Structure 1
Amino acid sequence: MTAHSNPLKVVDVSQLTQETADKILDGFTTQGFLFVDGHDFTQQEVDHYFELSEQFFQLPKEEKLKFAINHEDCGYTTFNQENLDPETQEKGDPKEAFNFGHFNFVTGDCDKTMLPDMFADGTENYAFIQKMTKKMFSLGTQILKLLAMGLKIDEEAGGSNWFSDRHRASGTSMTSMRMLHYPATSKMDAEMRVRAGAHTDYGSITLLFQKQGQEGLEIFDTSDKWTPVPFVKSTNEKYLEEGRAAPIVINIADQLSAWTNNVLKSTLHRVTLPTEGQDRYSIVFFFDAEDSVRMVPIPSPIVAAAATEEIDLNKDESEYMTAREYSEKRFRETYVSGH
């Protein structure tokens, strides 16, 4: 596989400082994507999550289809059931996925009715998922706090907690954890090397874990071309000695982009695989605002300056779309009948 240079900034988010916030904001207002280092995921934890993912996708198709995805975005999607780019992907995306949802981030619990026996409550696997879910929420919250600081949100309105107050641990949202499997391509289907069509994500931010040697993510960059995003290792010797996982890809999604008058960029991206490449597995955490949160104007001078028209501060809050309404609209546009 050809090695590619890294087009994304790498930001250490271990410290909640204005300097870090400014770096985060710079990356998300230009590229919309970042590599984040200084998190607290160990490589052992990430490797184990990928092992569980592979074990699930190796189950018989009949077993996986018992947990077919529901209207709450929980469950299994089979090959070609999801179509992220209907204009170019006539048959849907050649991948399969399994979503966890309905999280309580205080406990790490999710919708247990949509889990196969290997992830059932009371098992070691379920306890592991609970732990990883809480860690995902913690890192996502750290990023949201840094974004609020970077956007200089009015302290009287909530300051650094403005976004995190709308993504509470006990709140109800369409946040989901997703395991993905992209089978290897071959010469016979080389023309179908796009495994997830060009799309943007729907919620606030997305965390992506990918394995070394299984790259495939591409972003549509500022020069209007598709650019591969490689796997990168941390350059921090301390983190390496501690056994921390590699930097994690994080990107801005549509909800947060719209909420900030497009100050934060929700960038087009896709997944491709090379001919004769190996299978790709990835783990994604889609972090959404709470269902009932209204997408009201953000009290940020940077966001206000980017508005294309004057913001009506007297507009009733009920007139703004909720986070759930927005996500459900995008969800309906994405799925087609699978087989």
Structure 2
Amino acid sequence: MSTPLKVVDISTLNQGNAKELLDAAVTQGFLYIDGHDFSSVEVEQLFNLSSEFFKLDTDTKEKFPIDSNDRGYTAYHQEMLDPDTQVKGDPKEAFNFGDFDFHTGKIRQSPLPEIFEENENRRLLESTSKKLYDLSIALLKLLAMALEIDPAKGGHDWFLQRHLPDEESITTLRFLRYPSVSSLDANEPIRAGAHTDYGTVTLLFQQENQEGLELYLKNQWQPVPYIPSKYPGKAAPIIVNIADQLSYWTCGLLKSTMHRVKFPSSTVSKDRYSIVFFVNADNNVVLEPIPSPIVSQRDRKITKLITSKEYLDKRFAATYVKGH
């Protein structure tokens, strides 16, 4: 199947796929990752759990409203990702998990809806969170290799030192439901407005026949198709994108690409679900330029140093619709 994105196999970590990853991050900001450790059965279980949660009545879901740390339930039209063109918030709903100990994947967030507290469901959520964190660290290690970060200042572990497994951060696992066009608003195929992500990197699971993600590349919107893994029994390649913090850190070398969710004509009659892992640096990390000879060649426009939490607070304040 034709796709605008590079597929990088990370079944082994070496300088070759580090270079491939960097090339995709510099030129497009998005790529597929194959050779990961998620089975198709695991990912199917996650989507089933997400679907069961969103079937709950609205009153039950709204007992867990989104908080100042971006944890909890977001209702329809509560989030506005493209305030320049939207007159109301996005027609979608979501639930965000946060406050992790990534040594184990333990979710310290409390309270959680009862469905997520059930033993098997909690084990699934926590094993998923741990594996996604480990995968994100592997990707950041590859980027550190390709960026040739000064060994005296952290080298390949430079990003790990700023994404520690037990430090406070706004790293988030998110379940999303985009209701069918016919069930909500037949005149609004845009389900998530055009935006860039806020943190370091984003990892996305999308299902077959539930496409909708579009990227703004080469001055036009391009759809991102579902593609299967080349490994039997493995989940589809995970979509990875560079987010604003990492672009900022690299003085714009790595590209944070505009994207949106727009229902194609083939899917307007059914709901779309996706599962996203938003990786953010630890709250107290100062967003100073990365000590890389490749980055240092660029015009450094960072004039005021701020922390990861300060940066994210500003972005979230502009995202959520007042009055919810």
TM-score range, shorter chain: over 0.9
- Counterpart residue number, 1:245: 235
Q: CA deviation at 1:308?
A: 4.4
Distance, in Å, in 2 between the alignment partners of 1:219 and 1:7 is 9
Q: Which runs of 5+ in 1 are unaligned?
A: 313-318
Q: Secondary structure at the match of 1:124?
A: helix
Report Cα offsets for 1:96-142 as digits up to 9, x if no partner.
Answer: 0000011111121224414111111x611111111111000010000
Within 5 Å, which residues of 2 pair with 1:129-168? 129-168=125-164
Distance, in Å, in 2 between the alignment partners of 1:286 and 1:195 is 19
Report Cα offsets for 1:173-207 as digits up to 9, x if no partner.
Answer: 00001000001113983431000000000000000
Within 5 Å, which residues of 2 pair with 1:27-106? 27-106=24-103
- AA in 1 matched with 2:72: G
Q: Which runs of 5+ in 2 are unaligned?
A: none
Query: Which one of 201, 207, 223 corresponds to residue 228 of structure 1?
Result: 223
- Counterpart residue number, 1:280: 272
Report Cα offsets for 1:141-199 as digits up to 9, x if no partner.
Answer: 00000000111111111111111111011111000010000011139834310000000
2:288 aligned with 1:296: yes
Distance, in Å, in 1 between the alignment partners of 2:319 and 2:41 is 34
Structure 2 CA distance for partners of 1:146 and 1:35, relative to 1, 3 Å: same
Structure 2 CA distance for partners of 1:44 and 1:198, relative to 1, 3 Å: same
Q: Secondary structure at the match of 2:202?
A: strand
Q: Secondary structure at the match of 1:135?
A: helix
Contact 1:201 1:253 in 2 (8 A): yes
Contact 1:79 1:338 in 2 (8 A): no
Distance, in Å, in 2 between the alignment partners of 1:83 and 1:188 is 17
Query: Which one of 4, 13, 27 corresponds to residue 10 of structure 2?
Result: 13
Distance, in Å, in 1 between the alignment partners of 2:61 and 2:192 is 20
Q: CA deviation at 1:306?
A: 1.5
Q: TM-score, length-normalised on structure 1?
A: 0.92
- Counterpart residue number, 2:202: 206
- Counterpart residue number, 2:307: 322
Q: Secondary structure at the match of 1:306?
A: coil
- AA in 2 matched with 1:62: D
Q: CA deviation at 1:338?
A: 6.3
- AA in 1 matched with 2:225: P
Q: Secondary structure at the match of 1:192?
A: coil
Contact 1:211 1:231 in 2 (8 A): yes
Contact 2:149 2:156 in 1 (8 A): yes
Q: CA deviation at 1:337?
A: 3.7
Distance, in Å, in 1 between the alignment partners of 2:109 and 2:151 is 39
Indicate the RMSD between aligned Cα atoms, in angstroms. Answer: 1.6
Contact 2:81 2:89 in 1 (8 A): yes
- Counterpart residue number, 1:315: none
Contact 1:185 1:274 in 2 (8 A): no
Structure 2 CA distance for partners of 1:110 and 1:338, relative to 1, 3 Å: farther
2:318 aligned with 1:333: yes
Distance, in Å, in 1 between the alignment partners of 2:32 and 2:182 is 30
- Counterpart residue number, 2:189: 193
